[in-house]
Structure 1
Amino acid sequence: MKPTLLKHGALAAVVASFFSFSATAHSSEEAQVELVGKIKGTQITGVTVSNKGRVFVSAPNWRDGVPFSVGLVSDNGDFTAYPNAETNACVAQSKVRKDCFLAVQSVVAHNEKLYVLDTRNPKFQGVIDAPRVFVVDLATNKVESALILSEEAYHPDSYINDLRLDEKMNRIYMTDSAHAGLVVYNLEDDSSYRVLDNHETTTAEVDALSIQGKPFKMTVQSDGLALDTLNDTLYFHALSGYSLYAINTADINKASNDVLAKKVRKVATTGAPDGMIYHQGNVYLADLEKQEVQYLTPSLDLRTLVKGEVVNWADTFSIYNGSLYYTNSKIQDAGSDVSNMTFEVYKTALPAR
């Protein structure tokens, strides 16, 4: 089914379909938010901020007419294709080229490099080329390499969704939101593989969500990912579910589900989130059904950081200079035509420690 033939709201369903302890909930005074940038007619999902404060976003290839895959947000809120228009040309034409972004879902800035996760699955028609991570040197603004997943790391219907860099283990961890599982890329030898493939800890727990009373009937598998580099812990969560899981990074090895599942622990019951991030003891995650940005403290208190009209499917988080940045991807409202919709990047101060 081509997105151009879908009625409003139907594409959102297609988009979503490919994509221990209970926490104690506490409410808090709503944080003040600041608009970083907004763009009309281009749905953005990912956001990341570099060490030097440069703000990057990603726009998925979910419909015709997407002007860029990766954008740089200027200080005055304008969006321009990054690193240049040529590297972003494939998204509009769905052309398969080795040097061109095709279907980017997320971006992560790390040590002055930008890691661009390309699903190679445009419009959810299936993987037409191996998913990969483009590495852009932020000093030269040039693509320096592409980390290509091996055939054992993805399925034909995979939609590789999020990633985290682990310097200690020299690996990249990724989620697959269409075909449940986690993906590991070993930077030492460029090998890659899957773990917890179709396992209950990476699989959606419910068939539908209720976004402020509006039904969202499709399911999304493993999606959110957060890495605690101090305690060497990887957190992961299905979007269509309420269980936050964790595993020690040293235990993430190429092994059967039965073996690896013994190393996984349930941390908390939370709302259904999209993106996640870890920072100074807290796991930040959204509650899509309540339309809030929340954080889970080390004592398993689930607190609200931001709520209200400034939260509309908080999709991806990044942290820079004491602030949490997030995108509003508005997936539950976006259909085949988003030309009249506006999508925002906001930032808000982190809670006092």
Structure 2
Amino acid sequence: MTFDRYAAAHVAVAAVVAVIALLSAALPGVAHAQTNGQTNGQTVAHDEGASLPEERSIGHIEPVHEFYGAMPSGVAKAPNGRLFVNYPRWGDDVPFTVGEIVDGRVVPYPNAQINRPDPMHPAATLLSVQNVVADYRNRLWILDTAAPKFAPPVQGGAKLIAVDLATNKVVKTIVFKPKVLLPQSYIDDVRFDFRYGKEGVAYLSDSSPAGPGGIIVVDLASGDAWRTLEAHPATQGDPAFVPVVEGIEMTEDGPNGTPQPVHFAADGLALSADGNILYFSPLSSRHLYSVATRFLRDRDADDGEVEASVRDLGEKGASDGLASDANGAVYAGDYERNSIRKMLPDGTWVTIAHDPRILWPDALSIGTDGYLYFTANQLNRQAQFNHGRDLRKKPYTLFRIKINAQPLELKPQALSE
């Protein structure tokens, strides 16, 4: 080959290389086409700069507060706009178990002194609060399990306290007696109907992981309380239920090191718009149940009569907290699917929020501002569910989502007119 012919060939090759380079720049992924698989016999190119399809979010949740200390559980939005949270003493360093969010900070409520557990005065101090609920009279009800780290409740310490938000003073304390609170009881949620008796009634759930769960009914005027639906299958949860959260089966290490299902009984509670139905859901279940409240309020009702009024309303997803609005809709967290769901009055369930940030939605509270508030506290990432490794990542978050509905307020008839 002469020098001229060699030079011409070299120029031609260089031109081809330049064209390929231009095509590669103009059509990203062409240069990798031979290594990215085939579909229907044709080579498929992947644009390394493009994002692949992702799971989509539903609804618009707004962060309200971030927690960089202890893990929260309950939330209460009062009619006067004040916002409260609580921190159960499950193992974190909890300087105070009830707090109010003020100017972006959480401060002890109603004061620091009552938040210091005193074994000598268990009825007068807060030991481990599981939930807080605000009522239409701007009172904050505090549910104290008196069971730090799920230990047996401290004798004389498990109680329901009402604080007047106008004075920030405790105005009522109901201490639960041993016949109501069993050695393995863990009281979890509370809902109120103020239309009955002198001061109304409260319904509480016993979600005990070790003993018989059930529903507790309290006469708020006298403090008298009684258990119902104890050991009923609907309040105990599904023994075969194994939750799958973030793609992982949620289990605990058994005595011999083998995984065993997490089991908790009746947990979330909500009332129907007319107060005639109490909805409840075991933590270890995907089903929603209901029971007629007229049988619950009648402490002399035959057990068979109460049990006959229980209804299995089908699957709603696995939830922790429940809430209901004035229109009759029921809301539930879905901790397996990072979601908040809503049951319409006709029984249909819809998802109103789905977001990867909803990491274990716990308690729910509806404010008069038309928002549903809920905590996302990563409960499933605790060490006890991950072979001793604490996988929680701060911050924990308080979210809200607009629902354009008002909270359910079951007032005495004279106040409702």
Match of 2:318 among 262, 272, 278: 272
- The residue number in structure 1 matching 2:62 is 34
- The within-5 A match list for 1:227-306 is 227-252=271-296, 253-254=298-299, 255-279=301-325, 280-306=327-353
- The residue number in structure 2 matching 1:8 is none
- Structure-2 separation of matches of 1:181 and 1:352: 30
- Structure-1 separation of matches of 2:391 and 2:115: 20
Alpha carbons 1:31, 1:349 under 8 Å: kept: no
- Structure-2 separation of matches of 1:341 and 1:352: 31
Deviation (angstroms), 1:264: 1.4
Q: Secondary structure at the match of 1:86?
A: coil
- Structure-1 separation of matches of 2:318 and 2:120: 34
Equivalent position amino acid for 1:32 in 2 = H
Alpha carbons 2:273, 2:328 under 8 Å: kept: no
More strand by share: 1
- The residue number in structure 1 matching 2:235 is 202
Normalised to the residue count of structure 1, the TM-score between the two structures is 0.86
The runs of 5 or more residues in structure 2 that have no matched partner are 1-55, 252-261, 385-389, 407-417
Q: Secondary structure at the match of 2:379?
A: coil
- Structure-1 separation of matches of 2:287 and 2:201: 25
Q: Secondary structure at the match of 2:115?
A: helix
Identity %: 31
| Backbone CA RMSD of aligned residues | 2.2
**2:264 is the alignment partner of 1:220:** yes
- Structure-1 separation of matches of 2:392 and 2:93: 10
1:213-261 CA distances to partner (integer Å, 9 max, x unpaired)?
1111211110010012425221111011122111222121324542311
Alpha carbons 1:118, 1:133 under 8 Å: kept: yes
1:78-136 CA distances to partner (integer Å, 9 max, x unpaired)?
1111111111111xx77753221001100001121111000111111211124210111
Match of 1:116 among 133, 136, 142: 142
Deviation (angstroms), 1:327: 0.4
Give the aligned length.
Answer: 324
Deviation (angstroms), 1:349: 0.5
Deviation (angstroms), 1:334: 2.3
- Structure-1 separation of matches of 2:396 and 2:57: 25
- The residue number in structure 1 matching 2:168 is 141
- The within-5 A match list for 1:1-353 is 30-74=58-102, 76-90=103-117, 97-110=122-135, 111-130=137-156, 131-169=158-196, 170-178=200-208, 179-205=212-238, 206-217=240-251, 218-252=262-296, 253-254=298-299, 255-279=301-325, 280-320=327-367, 321-335=369-383, 341-350=394-403
Alpha carbons 2:381, 2:391 under 8 Å: kept: no
Q: Secondary structure at the match of 1:202?
A: helix
- Structure-2 separation of matches of 1:352 and 1:135: 25
Higher RCO (CA 8 Å, separation ≥ 6 residues): 1
Alpha carbons 1:197, 1:257 under 8 Å: kept: no
More helix by share: 2
Rg bigger for which structure?
Answer: 2
Q: Secondary structure at the match of 2:191?
A: strand
Alpha carbons 1:41, 1:338 under 8 Å: kept: no
Equivalent position amino acid for 1:264 in 2 = V
- Structure-2 separation of matches of 1:242 and 1:35: 27
Residues 226 and 102 of structure 1: CA distance in aligned 2, closer, same or farther (over 3 Å): same
Equivalent position amino acid for 1:41 in 2 = G
Q: Secondary structure at the match of 1:251?
A: helix
Deviation (angstroms), 1:315: 0.2
- Structure-1 separation of matches of 2:404 and 2:138: 26
